Structure 1
Amino acid sequence: MKEMTAKEVETFLEEGKKLNLIDVREVAEVKSGKIPGAVNIPLSLLEFRMNELNKSTEYTIVCRSGGRSSQASQFLESHGFHVINMTGGMLAWEGKVE
């Protein structure tokens, strides 16, 4: 599984690079703030909503601490998706939130 730190994700975004971010936290958790542009698909709904994703697109998966995003990354990879797990999750995120 590919991984990227929260700082690397922040740097990419600051440089204007396009990242397809999926936040797999629950809706109530996301209300406290998410990375700008991230799409919220809770881990509990990922299996049912993965049809919204494109297998030719690379996605960066985010959660609170890195555990659920790791699970989501493994699940999506097993279904043919290209994913990167953001290690440390939102606890390690120091960038802007919306």
Structure 2
Amino acid sequence: MKEITAAQLKQMIQTGERVHVIDVREDEEVAFGMIPSATHIKMGDIPERMNELDKNETYVIICRSGVRSEHVCRYLEAHGYDVCNVIDGMLGWDGELE
């Protein structure tokens, strides 16, 4: 499984790289802020919503600490998706929030 840090993700966004970020935290967690370009799909909703994702794109998956996002990455990889886990999650994010 591909992995990056929150700092590497921030750098990718700042340099204008096209990045598809999926935030898999719960509603009450994202209420405190999420990465501006991220799409919110709760971990539990991934199975029913993965048809919204394009298998030709790469998705960067983030949660609070990197554990749930790792599980989501493993699940999506098993279904043929190209994913990358943010290993330190939002705990490592020091960038802008919305």
Same fold by TM (over 0.5)?
yes
Distance 2:81 2:52 in 1: 12
Q: Which amino acid aligns with 1:87?
A: I
Structure 2 length normalisation: TM-score? 0.98
Q: 1:85: how far off?
A: 0.3
- 2:41 counterpart residue number: 41
Q: 1:88: how far off?
A: 0.5
CA offsets 1:51-74 (integer angstroms, 9 cap, x no match): 110100100000000000000000
- 1:13 counterpart residue number: 13
Structure 1 length normalisation: TM-score? 0.98
Unaligned runs of 5+ in 1: none
Distance 2:8 2:69 in 1: 16
For these two proteins, the number of residue pairs brought into alignment is 98
CA offsets 1:15-40 (integer angstroms, 9 cap, x no match): 11110000000111111000111000
- 2:92 counterpart residue number: 92
Distance 1:66 1:26 in 2: 14
State the superposition RMSD in angstroms: 0.5
Distance 1:17 1:25 in 2: 23
Unaligned runs of 5+ in 2: none
Distance 1:15 1:81 in 2: 24
Identity of aligned residues (%): 45
Distance 1:18 1:30 in 2: 22
